[in-house]
Structure 1
Amino acid sequence: MKHSWYSFLIILLIFSCESAPEKNTMEDFIYADSDFVLTINNLDNFKSNTGNNNFIESLSKTEHYKTFTETLNFLNQIKSQQPFYINLFKDQKDSLTYSFVTKLTDSVFTLDSLKITREPYQLKGLAVEKVNIDKQIIYVSKQGDLLIGSNNTSHLEDLFNGNTKNASVKKIIQTQDKDASFSVYLNNGSLKHIFKNTTIPFKTLTNNLTFDTEVSQNELVLTGITKATDSSSLINVFKNTLPQDNQLAQITPSNSDGFLSITFNEFSVFKDNLDRFNTVDTITKNTTLFDNIIEFGELYTDTTSVVVLNTIDVIATKEALLSEQEKIEDFRGVNLYKFSKPDLFKEQLKPFITLDKATKYCIINQFIIFASNTDALENVIINYQNQTTLNDRPYYKDISAGLSSQSSILQVLNPTNLEQLVTSNLNTKQDLDFSKYKSSAFQFIYDGDFAHFNAIIKQSKNTVAENSITEIFNIKLDNDVLNTPQFVKNYRTKQQNIIVQDVTNKLYLITNDGKILWKKQLHGPVLGRIEQIDMYKNGRLQYAFATPNRVYVLDRNGNDVKPFPMKFSDQITQPLSVFDYDKRKKYRLFVTQGKNVLLYDGRGKKVKGFNFKSAKEDFNSQPQHIRIGRKDYLVFKTEHKLYILDRRGKTRVTPKTNLNYSNQPVFDYNSDFITTTKEGKLATITTKGAVSVMDKNLTDNNSLVSTTKTLVSQSNNLLNIKDHTLELDFGTYTPAQLFLIDNKIYISTTDKQTQKVLLYDSNGVLQDNFPVYGTSAIDLKNIDKDSNLEFVTKGENNSILVYKIN
């Protein structure tokens, strides 16, 4: 039995529903007492990007995560381009309750499960439908153009009829970025801890937190704000202070578990705020030790911690320590002293500092370092002098590049402490492998009456040897890969993105760090390569291509550019050819239908004055544009005839000998036209029409690719590169490809049988560390800011791989 969400919506539309008239926006159905509010801007991309993220994949092993995903399993049955709000909280029975709201307009919903029942359900005048999807029951209703649902009838009724008092929550959520992968709102009771220091529970820190999330395969970047309404929240101890540069990484050993850094411009203001928070008499135990500091913090190890003060006047701070000058030893030229106030920092700087046995200290430049034993101090000295602090580590530099250099609170954690933080919040004993996350950071930047929040959880790049090949990422599509992935230019970043299609004809655009930007459902498979054009001559590139019955032009967001797509009743039989004769962005789009060619300009209008009507038989390759000298040649080819025309479609060259041509393209080689015959011979045609044929021992299953000076031919396991003939292992090879990058030529082919990608130079020399794993032809370019080349290929049936050649 087939079920569709569309029929369900029809049922909803015929119901009459009386609801509070003021609740007519999606934000009106945000539940203020939710533990979490999840904002999904694009549900399809959300599923793909979270499914491809390694950190989230690690969490999927936990029971908490499994419960969460099972509860929201109904999302797998919904396909919508509209934003979603999902409220999540624990009810009085400690069961996970949720509700959601989205717009009906322009939404497409499908219920694919065969195990589904539907029935009307009445709630105090509210028209509801009870839907059972694979034994999961949800209750749904509508308000205007909104669809609202929940797994709890009481909660659903409250959303419609109750006073949710969510004005403040709505205001915060309205700050979320509509272009983010997804956004999260957290109430102060939703997390246990956000710091390693468990004496700072999340509910003590602030009232709420919202952040936008950018997701790629190896990285999570969180950006948002938090606001607390009263002095009982710890974040407000930074009121009337200015954040400073966080410098503790300069003194933190790379073998530490991380650090917590606290900054301010005036300690006295900060201390007054902190004392009010701690309800401490500001007169008690005043000390001049802190007068000139702009930063303090704690460095963590697996057995103890170290307290660091960062002073702007080291002489004055030393004077405050005149009574603490009993020397213990000299270690590598640094004096170690006794300290007589072991509980000073925990008492004066709680809850930020936990060390209560600060019995020793030393001074390194502007840093005053306190610890409970000399081993901890010596470890700091060794790493500082050996330049092996966190600040010297590339993985820390990598994450700090994405953070603000000045913050009120900065916490940096190593893999072990990141795992402890996650397992504590998820209440699990599951072992999570975060070993690749060498350094993760969380920061708050106080600004007026709120604070900015940033966090980076990122896999560290492995140190790679010169000439090695490393896999950058492996992205899974929703379905099996249909065609060869290719690189396309990102006109904004001047780098490269990846475009690929799956077997359901869904087109994906993916960034060069593995984030799926959008998906576009097409009416058929893409023919050949996707071209890029600048339709409006403003530097913004569009994607142009053909499927069997349409010609598409898409903008950078995957939206159709009018008047495209152009629909054709007769089948398009060759890839779309796009020519820009004079490099003036005056595009010509050639559409091939059997033996006919239709010509359009870049705006989709038919071009007048093109006089070529049709061939006598179907074209066996796509139209080509070749420029030799100052003349343009349009080349069309059938099995028995080669048409070499001018721009208006008139014959410019007539071959003097008829041949049986293969389906291989025609190339400009040494200022002649070259292709192959069905018999596997090389056919050369001069601009005067003279024809010569050369036997290169190719079979009828041959391929050809060429630049003006380098010719590459291939048949079976023989690969000819200029004058070099390479006898490859027997296998099933993709047609050889030729890449000209920075005046160097590369030739690639892939053995689909053994799943090996091969890459040669123009002299037939196999490049270092090849072959590598891959199951399709490749695309090769420099896709990012460094000087190394990358290539993309198909991996498993539903995945694509990107490699870097170091």
Structure 2
Amino acid sequence: MKHLCYSLFIILLFSCNSKTSKNTVEDFIYSKADVVLTINNTDNFKSNTANNHFIEQLSKTKPYTDITNTLEVLSRFNFNQRLYISLFKNKEDSLDYSFTTKVNDSTFSLDSLELTKTAVKLKNINAQKITTKQHTLYVALQNNILVGSNNKQHLEYLFNHKEKTEGLKKIIATQDKDASFSVYTNNTVLQSPFYNPDLPFKSFSKYLTFDTEVNQNKLVLNGFTKSNDSSSLINVFKNTLPQDNQLAQITPSNSNGFLSITFDQFTTFKSNLNTIYPSDSVAIDQPLFNNIIEFGEIYTNSSNAVVLNSLDIIETNEALLSQKDLIETFRGVSIFKFTKPKLFNQLLKPFVTLDNASNYCIIDQFLIFASNTETLENIIVNYQNQTTLNDRDYYNDIKKGLSSQASVLQVINPFGLEQLVQNNSQSKQKFDFKNYKSSALQFIYDTDFAHFNAIINQSKTSISNNSITEMFNIKLDHDVLNQPQFVKNYRSKQMDIMVQDVSNTLYLISNDGKIIWKKQLHGPILGQIDQIDIYKNGRLQYVFATQNRVYVIDRNGNDVSPFPKKFDDNITQPLAVFDYDNKKKYRLFVIQDNNVLLYDAKAKPVPGFKFNKTEKTINTPPKHIRIGRKDYLVFKTNDKLHILNRRGKTRVKVKIDLNWSDQPVFEYNSNFITSTTDGKIATITEKGNVSVGSLNITDKHTLASTTKTLISQYNNKLNIKHHNLELDFGNYTPAKLFYVNNKIYVSTTDTQTQKVLLFDSNGVLQDHFPVYGTSAIDLDNIDTDNNLEFVTKGESNSVLVYKIN
């Protein structure tokens, strides 16, 4: 799996016991593993990690490629159950691994042209040896549990050894089964999650576990860490309460970041720290710290600064009466000489690295110490100009995903993130992190463990009014098959994206670019996907037809019984879904050549609907039109227009038979309107009278309409109401009409020049169009702001979402 190595490498950035019988998948997790990777859905894992920019940057490093190559053979398996991968170093200090999962019939559908399978007898187990050109893997089964390893002695160990795994199993049990994936790591792998090299993870805690959510521009990690060893730094927060982290208020936006440490009682914190890093007892009693609830270090390219946050700045200032040797006054702020420059490094190490705090100033409740006046002046300028991190949108954006109170909070800029990655990968590789304006991690101490949160986020480009910005660009596993469309998310009250690829896989993608699930279908979807509330409880399902099936799928990607309903004869038109009285009493119309079949939401034929087959093939999906209080069921063949009542009986007898096009029938000015094969517009009244007019369109045309707005298109001619537009010569998709926020929009895409066009109802091209796109669009407001978004196909295998600002 190409991107399995991501989660193993990400821990390099941040990276109990009773005998049990082995009857569960979790029993075969190697308890002494350095890393355990938990993947809940391998397809989604691969897709989401493949689309993430940060992971793409990590793929340049040697540790990443080493892990990728080691795990390459696992890509030949079809895992569809929760998968655990354990990694560890062998005696030769090389990487070994094992994995375990539930087995099914498709797991062993391996490519025989590229690998070989051989039965082998290991100690007390029958196994298979799987060999590729570069790798060898040993696998065995027990109780429908598949276990494998690249080391046959280790596989024997897993089956024959009764490990003490209860501690690790309890940790694994806390992982979120809805997460993209989860990671457990001990303290031997992760170098340090901190910008400060004096804070290695090995001395910080015993292990770390976290769940990971991945979308195109962001990684969110949530988990916890714990160590029963009193020498672990995480335990210096024992018997303390985290406070609000306020250092961002004083940290310049041109700094590399900051580290914030909080507590409710400094004496408790210092007493805990002193058991690990003893310091001068005289220094401990410094009255300077009596009211301090937060301290930290601001990182800059030249010299760092130490900050103390006081609850009572007047009393704290009094503790500095002997330190009032004025150096200068800068912008109204006094800068003094500090005669104990090594105090903080001695007293607060390893959290503070500055060993020459020879100058200080006071700003509001903050005392700032540095080795030179230039560093203090920069802090003063940014604070007064309101250009601190706390004033930046990108910091406030990530702050929404963090706790406001944390024992430890680290925030770093692109340079800090690059330094962190380079230090952990032991590489000088350059990375494109320029848009990662602010990345953060925090530890929140709670009784005998600490919660862990981290966000690595590409900041959004500054957006001006009246502009169009690309929200995300998601790559699918295969080329896009149909036009992407928006669907309602009943949980968030926003919208998601659905699209199918050429392998007939259906994707549900969130409006922030995360692939939620993928589902293999039996064929291409005909037309659009509709949504229904089959249980009448507000939870929407997706409903559509393929060539031989009608599907109803729930929000989680599961089939809703008794669907899918299978048909022997081909379905020849998109599924039509009606709810005549808006009472969620759904009717599903299935067209098979010249036959109309009607089903209810339980896939049962609707009694009372009587309609004989048409003489010729039906060339449009059935459509429900209500004029006044009357319902009409409308569809066409190439020589007859059928206007029926709910029971399938003729309601309107059309008095003239014409050569009808394959364009839909619409309600227009309280009449029916459609077109003929030669491009004429036909209006039909409720009494069946027909009038034919001309819009100067040809036989190769498309039609769309609301009750008051008619649009037609042929070649490069686009007619919107009475506005006739002549577009550049090209290959245009059928024009689509959208009614959003009480305004009409019309869109078409030139697939030859790959340009999306959007007009209003007066034929006026909207500002900043055309934009890049290769398919028709879907347009709507998909999130919580008032701006519209649209989705289109990008490259052959990608889906693009834009925001119109």
Note the C-alpha offset of 1:165: 2.5
Note the C-alpha offset of 1:282: 4.8
The code of the aligned residue for 2:301 comes to D
State the alpha-carbon separation in 2 of the partners of residues 48 and 774 from structure 1.
21
Matches within 5 A, 1:208-357: 208-280=207-279, 282=281, 285-357=284-356
Task: Indicate the SS of the match to 1:46.
Answer: helix
Matches within 5 A, 1:166-177: 166-177=165-176
Matches within 5 A, 1:383-422: 383-422=382-421
Task: Indicate the SS of the match to 1:139.
Answer: strand
Task: Indicate the SS of the match to 1:747.
Answer: strand
State the alpha-carbon separation in 2 of the partners of residues 784 and 26 from structure 1.
40
> For the Cα contact (< 8 Å) 2:20–2:162, is it kept in 1?
no
Matches within 5 A, 1:10-25: 22-25=21-24
Q: 1:581 is matched with which residue?
A: 580
Q: Does 1:639 align with 2:638?
A: yes
State the alpha-carbon separation in 2 of the partners of residues 681 and 777 from structure 1.
25
> For the Cα contact (< 8 Å) 2:634–2:641, is it kept in 1?
yes
Q: 2:700 is matched with which residue?
A: 701
Task: Indicate the SS of the match to 2:268.
Answer: helix
State the alpha-carbon separation in 2 of the partners of residues 164 and 67 from structure 1.
29
State the alpha-carbon separation in 1 of the partners of residues 801 and 194 from structure 2.
35
- Structure 2: runs of 5 or more not aligned: 1-18
| RMSD between aligned residues | 1.2
Task: Indicate the SS of the match to 1:269.
Answer: helix
Matches within 5 A, 1:374-389: 374-389=373-388
> For the Cα contact (< 8 Å) 1:44–1:79, is it kept in 2?
no
Q: 1:70 is matched with which residue?
A: 69
Q: Does 1:653 align with 2:668?
A: no
Render the CA deviation track for 1:180-220: whole Å, top value 9, x for unaligned. 00000011011111101111101111000000000000000
Q: 1:135 to 1:298 in 2, by over 3 A?
A: same
Between 1:713-722 and 1:22-31, the stretch displaced more is 22-31
Render the CA deviation track for 1:305-355: whole Å, top value 9, x for unaligned. 000000101111011111111111111111111100000001011110000
Note the C-alpha offset of 1:90: 2.1
> For the Cα contact (< 8 Å) 2:195–2:416, is it kept in 1?
yes
The code of the aligned residue for 1:117 comes to T
How many residues get paired? 787
State the alpha-carbon separation in 2 of the partners of residues 21 and 260 from structure 1.
43
Note the C-alpha offset of 1:109: 4.0
State the alpha-carbon separation in 1 of the partners of residues 738 and 75 from structure 2.
41
Q: 1:453 is matched with which residue?
A: 452
Task: Indicate the SS of the match to 2:290.
Answer: coil
State the alpha-carbon separation in 1 of the partners of residues 132 and 534 from structure 2.
46
Matches within 5 A, 1:603-682: 603-682=602-681
State the alpha-carbon separation in 1 of the partners of residues 747 and 133 from structure 2.
48
State the alpha-carbon separation in 1 of the partners of residues 154 and 667 from structure 2.
71
Q: Does 1:729 align with 2:728?
A: yes
Task: Indicate the SS of the match to 1:118.
Answer: strand
The code of the aligned residue for 2:786 comes to S
State the alpha-carbon separation in 2 of the partners of residues 282 and 73 from structure 1.
56
Note the C-alpha offset of 1:113: 5.7
Note the C-alpha offset of 1:445: 0.3
Matches within 5 A, 1:6-45: 22-45=21-44
Render the CA deviation track for 1:56-78: whole Å, top value 9, x for unaligned. 01111112111111111123212
> For the Cα contact (< 8 Å) 2:283–2:347, is it kept in 1?
no
Task: Indicate the SS of the match to 1:407.
Answer: coil
Q: 2:766 is matched with which residue?
A: 767
Q: 1:140 is matched with which residue?
A: 139
Matches within 5 A, 1:539-578: 539-578=538-577
> For the Cα contact (< 8 Å) 1:520–1:558, is it kept in 2?
yes
Note the C-alpha offset of 1:29: 1.4
State the alpha-carbon separation in 1 of the partners of residues 778 and 334 from structure 2.
60
State the alpha-carbon separation in 2 of the partners of residues 644 and 28 from structure 1.
65
> For the Cα contact (< 8 Å) 1:760–1:766, is it kept in 2?
yes
Note the C-alpha offset of 1:106: 6.5
Note the C-alpha offset of 1:614: 1.6
State the alpha-carbon separation in 1 of the partners of residues 735 and 569 from structure 2.
32
Q: 1:629 to 1:348 in 2, by over 3 A?
A: same
**TM-score normalised to the size of structure 2?**
0.97
Q: 2:12 is matched with which residue?
A: none
> For the Cα contact (< 8 Å) 1:142–1:148, is it kept in 2?
yes
State the alpha-carbon separation in 1 of the partners of residues 525 and 554 from structure 2.
16
Note the C-alpha offset of 1:43: 0.6
The code of the aligned residue for 1:291 comes to N
Q: 1:399 to 1:21 in 2, by over 3 A?
A: closer
Note the C-alpha offset of 1:616: 1.0
> For the Cα contact (< 8 Å) 1:275–1:281, is it kept in 2?
no
Note the C-alpha offset of 1:123: 1.8
State the alpha-carbon separation in 2 of the partners of residues 305 and 21 from structure 1.
52
The code of the aligned residue for 2:73 comes to F
> For the Cα contact (< 8 Å) 2:772–2:794, is it kept in 1?
yes
> For the Cα contact (< 8 Å) 1:746–1:762, is it kept in 2?
yes
State the alpha-carbon separation in 2 of the partners of residues 135 and 532 from structure 1.
48
Note the C-alpha offset of 1:425: 1.1
State the alpha-carbon separation in 2 of the partners of residues 432 and 246 from structure 1.
29
Note the C-alpha offset of 1:285: 4.9
State the alpha-carbon separation in 2 of the partners of residues 647 and 229 from structure 1.
72
> For the Cα contact (< 8 Å) 1:275–1:282, is it kept in 2?
no
> For the Cα contact (< 8 Å) 2:21–2:162, is it kept in 1?
no
State the alpha-carbon separation in 2 of the partners of residues 365 and 147 from structure 1.
62
> For the Cα contact (< 8 Å) 2:270–2:284, is it kept in 1?
no
State the alpha-carbon separation in 1 of the partners of residues 111 and 431 from structure 2.
34
After the TM superposition, list the runs of 4 or more consecutive aligned residues in structure 1 that deviate by more than 3 angstroms: 105-109, 279-285
Q: 1:475 is matched with which residue?
A: 474
Q: 2:364 is matched with which residue?
A: 365
Note the C-alpha offset of 1:134: 3.9
Task: Indicate the SS of the match to 2:322.
Answer: coil
Note the C-alpha offset of 1:699: 1.4
Matches within 5 A, 1:509-528: 509-528=508-527
Note the C-alpha offset of 1:281: 6.6
The code of the aligned residue for 1:766 comes to L
> For the Cα contact (< 8 Å) 1:759–1:767, is it kept in 2?
yes
Q: 1:486 is matched with which residue?
A: 485
Render the CA deviation track for 1:667-686: whole Å, top value 9, x for unaligned. 00101111110111111111
> For the Cα contact (< 8 Å) 1:437–1:457, is it kept in 2?
yes
The code of the aligned residue for 1:623 comes to P
Note the C-alpha offset of 1:280: 4.6
> For the Cα contact (< 8 Å) 1:272–1:282, is it kept in 2?
no
State the alpha-carbon separation in 2 of the partners of residues 650 and 529 from structure 1.
27
> For the Cα contact (< 8 Å) 2:485–2:777, is it kept in 1?
yes
Note the C-alpha offset of 1:633: 0.5
State the alpha-carbon separation in 2 of the partners of residues 109 and 738 from structure 1.
48
Note the C-alpha offset of 1:32: 2.2
The code of the aligned residue for 2:115 comes to I
Note the C-alpha offset of 1:279: 4.2
Render the CA deviation track for 1:643-671: whole Å, top value 9, x for unaligned. 00111111111111110001000000101
State the alpha-carbon separation in 1 of the partners of residues 385 and 397 from structure 2.
20
State the alpha-carbon separation in 1 of the partners of residues 488 and 590 from structure 2.
23
Note the C-alpha offset of 1:457: 0.2
The code of the aligned residue for 2:251 comes to T
Note the C-alpha offset of 1:744: 0.4
The code of the aligned residue for 1:704 comes to L
Q: Does 1:89 align with 2:92?
A: no
State the alpha-carbon separation in 2 of the partners of residues 597 and 493 from structure 1.
37
Between 1:759-768 and 1:167-176, the stretch displaced more is 167-176
Q: What fraction of aligned residue pairs are identical, expressed as a percent? A: 66
Q: Does 1:750 align with 2:735?
A: no
State the alpha-carbon separation in 2 of the partners of residues 493 and 106 from structure 1.
36
Q: 2:593 is matched with which residue?
A: 594
Task: Indicate the SS of the match to 1:406.
Answer: coil
Q: 2:155 is matched with which residue?
A: 156
Q: 1:10 is matched with which residue?
A: none
Between 1:202-211 and 1:429-438, the stretch displaced more is 429-438
The code of the aligned residue for 1:805 comes to I
